[in-house]
Structure 1
Amino acid sequence: MRIVVTGASGNVGTALVSRLQAAGQHDIVAIARRVPDYAAIDGPQWVSIDLSDPGCGHQLRHALHGADAVVHLAWGFQPSHQVGYLEAVGVGGTQRVLAASAAADVGHVVHMSSVAAYSPKRDAEPVDESWPVNGVPTSAYSRHKVAAERQLDSFEKTSAGTAVARVRPGIIGQRSAGSALLRYALPILLPAKAIAAVPVLPMPAGLTIPMVHADDVADAIVRILEQQATGAYNLAAATPISAADIAETLGARWIPTPGRVLRALLAASWQARLQQVAPGWLDLGAAAPALDSSRAKHELGWTPKASALEVLRETVEGMTEAVAGPTAALRHRTVLSELSQLVSHGPVSHRRQP
């Protein structure tokens, strides 16, 4: 099967490409804005395409020519102060991938959505795929995931010959994403070891976060491809993470704190450019429902191998040790490298990564 993967250099993309390669029976085209320097003879064909560019349609159509399936993973998380750019990558990029898929007559499209697309939870009960997809309005990430799902709805109506699936995972973690997550979450002057030196952790009571390992997400996508499955699939380990779990993993003391207080502090520090996490992420964390992944289990035969707590611990360990992957998106993070990038390109919350 000829499979095209967008966002192939990222957290899930590297896990998926590795799994597809291990199967030894697929022709893989890996799309990323920054392709790796290496290129194994028997590895995927890497293609550099910037999905935020409205003029990339020709490149996409060429890359998708002859493809049996497209797995669209590409998304942007920084610069957090340039929401227009993030929308161009996520929403605009999705539209361009769907248009190219239609032009290339691709038989199967698998889209990476998110728990962030769901409307806020009402209680602690897990929700299935029928839960409303209206998002959390104060989160740009959530709004963009909803917009991409709307595009997918329209694509399904006009492309009856294409099987369409969408996955809605919880927060995805793995050890090799440690350095990448540090760049998203940690001020540049703080070393990775600071993660393990947090004395107290103020977080709202009742916070629950569904999590899943990148390898388990890759496994689900492979099953979707093999079965040419359609529709939406929640992907998460059975028990979500709590604020107490996060504090314990960090070795910190949890201090239950009203959400409005934390949001005010987060917003002020973000606006002051002291850290790069936009306050909408806190809104999303407070609103995200727990996920019922029964459909993936029953229809795909999928069961996550890692519990949410195991994913959290592995991810935090990866961050503490600044573990990196083989691609630019997962490159090693150090204080010195971050300072160099700050001098040459400005803060990560404002710059487009080179």
Structure 2
Amino acid sequence: MRVVITGASGNVGSALVRRLREAGEYDIVAVARRIPHYAATSSSRWVSIDLSSRECEHELRRAVRGADAVVHLAWAFQPSHQVRYLESVGVGGTQRVLDACSALGVGQVVHMSSVGAYAPKRNDIPVAEDYPVDGVPSSSYSRHKVRAERLLDAFERSSDGTAVARLRPGIIGQRLAGSALLRYALPVLLPARTVGAVPVLPMPAGLTVAMVHADDVADAVVRVLQQRAVGAFNLAAATPVTSAMIAEALGARWVKTPARVVHALMLAAWQARLQPVSPGWLDLGCAAPALDSSRAERELGWSSSIDAMDVLRETLDGMGNASADFTAVLRQRTVLSELSELLSRGPVSHRANHEPGNPEPSGSSPTAG
């Protein structure tokens, strides 16, 4: 079975490539803007394609030609101040992938959506896949995920015989995404050990975060491919992470702080270029619903093998130790390397042509779904 994976070098992509290689029955075409240095000796075929560019159409169709399935994971999380670029990757890239699949008659498409596509929660009851997909307006990530889902809706209506599945995971974590998270989530001059030295955590009481491990998401993708499953599937560990749990994992004291105060502080620091995380992520964390993954359990035979707290602890441990993989997206971050990038290219939140990731946190951050 030939499988084309976009965003193959990112958080979920790297886990999926590992999983498919272990299975040994897949011909993998891995698509990324920057291919890893080991590509020449890899059993997978790596192709460099920038999905943010309208000029990628010919190369993309060449990569997709002959594919039995396309798994679309590519997404961008930075530069957070360049929303038009993020849109060109997330929304524009999705349209370009679907156009290629339509033109070449690909029989199966798996799209990585997110808990961020859902409308704000009404209560703390986990939602199923029929919950409204309207997004959180103040989050550009959420808005773009919703638009990508609308494109998938149109593709489903127009395609004939294509099996279309969309996965809606919570925040996706794994140890090897730790260094990438540092690059996306912390001020450039703070070393990795800062993660374990947070004395207090001012966070709102209403924040809840559905989480899932990257390996569990990869397992779900493989099950969808094997079963030609269609429709939407939530993917999350049973219990979401709360502000209190985040503080516990950090060894910090949680200080209950109104969301509007934290939002204002994040906004001021973001606008002053002191940190790269836009306040829309806080809004999303406070609004996103808990996920009911029973459909995936029932129809795919899938379940989360790692609970949310363990995913959080593993991801934070990866951050504290600057754990990394051998791709550009998941490369190791050091203060010196990031300072060099800052001086030559500016803050990560403003750089043009930043690499698309999955983050999968997950992206996300690259951990987000």
Question: What's the counterpart of residue 143 of structure 1?
Answer: 143
Question: What's the counterpart of residue 25 of structure 1?
Answer: 25
**Distance of 1:347 and 1:70 partners within structure 2:** 33
**Distance of 1:162 and 1:111 partners within structure 2:** 13
Q: Return the TM-score normalized by structure 2.
A: 0.95
**Distance of 1:159 and 1:342 partners within structure 2:** 45
**Distance of 2:272 and 2:255 partners within structure 1:** 24
**Distance of 1:2 and 1:171 partners within structure 2:** 28
Question: What's the counterpart of residue 79 of structure 1?
Answer: 79
CA-to-aligned-CA distance 1:191-250 (integer Å, 9 cap, x gap): 010011000000001321100000000000000000000000000000000111000100
**Distance of 1:104 and 1:55 partners within structure 2:** 18
3-state SS, counterpart of residue 39 of structure 2: coil
Is residue 13 of structure 1 aligned with residue 4 of structure 2? no
**Distance of 1:93 and 1:280 partners within structure 2:** 22
Question: What's the counterpart of residue 358 of structure 2?
Answer: none
Q: CA 1:96–1:244 in 2, change beyond 3 Å: closer, same or farther?
A: same
Question: What's the counterpart of residue 60 of structure 1?
Answer: 60
Offset, 1:41: 4.3
Question: What's the counterpart of residue 177 of structure 2?
Answer: 177
3-state SS, counterpart of residue 330 of structure 1: coil
Q: Which has the higher contact order (CA 8 A, sep 6+)?
A: 2
CA-to-aligned-CA distance 1:52-82 (integer Å, 9 cap, x gap): 0011111110000000000000000000000
AA in 1 matched with 2:64 = L
3-state SS, counterpart of residue 329 of structure 1: coil
**Distance of 1:245 and 1:261 partners within structure 2:** 20
Question: What's the counterpart of residue 4 of structure 2?
Answer: 4
Question: What's the counterpart of residue 45 of structure 2?
Answer: 45
**Distance of 1:325 and 1:237 partners within structure 2:** 24
**Distance of 1:61 and 1:161 partners within structure 2:** 19
3-state SS, counterpart of residue 70 of structure 1: strand
CA-to-aligned-CA distance 1:130-169 (integer Å, 9 cap, x gap): 0000000000000000000000000000002211000000
Question: What's the counterpart of residue 104 of structure 1?
Answer: 104
Is residue 287 of structure 1 aligned with residue 287 of structure 2? yes
**Distance of 1:273 and 1:282 partners within structure 2:** 17
**Distance of 1:128 and 1:81 partners within structure 2:** 33
**Distance of 2:44 and 2:338 partners within structure 1:** 30
Question: What's the counterpart of residue 203 of structure 2?
Answer: 203
Summarize the alignment of residues 1-354 of structure 1 with structure 2, pairs less than 5 Å apart: 1-39=1-39, 41=41, 43-352=43-352, 353=354
**Distance of 2:42 and 2:82 partners within structure 1:** 38
Offset, 1:39: 2.5
**Distance of 2:42 and 2:154 partners within structure 1:** 37
**Distance of 1:293 and 1:160 partners within structure 2:** 28
Question: What's the counterpart of residue 361 of structure 2?
Answer: none
3-state SS, counterpart of residue 237 of structure 2: coil
3-state SS, counterpart of residue 184 of structure 1: helix
AA in 2 matched with 1:208 = T
AA in 1 matched with 2:303 = T
3-state SS, counterpart of residue 329 of structure 2: helix
**Distance of 1:42 and 1:75 partners within structure 2:** 23
Question: What's the counterpart of residue 364 of structure 2?
Answer: none
**Runs (4+) of structure 1 moved beyond 4 Å?**
none
CA-to-aligned-CA distance 1:66-101 (integer Å, 9 cap, x gap): 000000000000000000000000000000000000
The two structures, once aligned, show a CA RMSD in angstroms of 0.8
Offset, 1:326: 1.1
Question: What's the counterpart of residue 365 of structure 2?
Answer: none
Q: CA 1:252–1:42 in 2, change beyond 3 Å: closer, same or farther?
A: closer
**Distance of 1:330 and 1:77 partners within structure 2:** 13
**Distance of 1:143 and 1:175 partners within structure 2:** 28
**Distance of 1:267 and 1:75 partners within structure 2:** 23
* Structure 2: gaps (5+ residues): 356-369
Q: How many residues were matched structurally? A: 354
**Distance of 2:151 and 2:291 partners within structure 1:** 23
AA in 2 matched with 1:288 = A
3-state SS, counterpart of residue 254 of structure 1: strand
Residue identity over aligned pairs, in percent, reads: 70
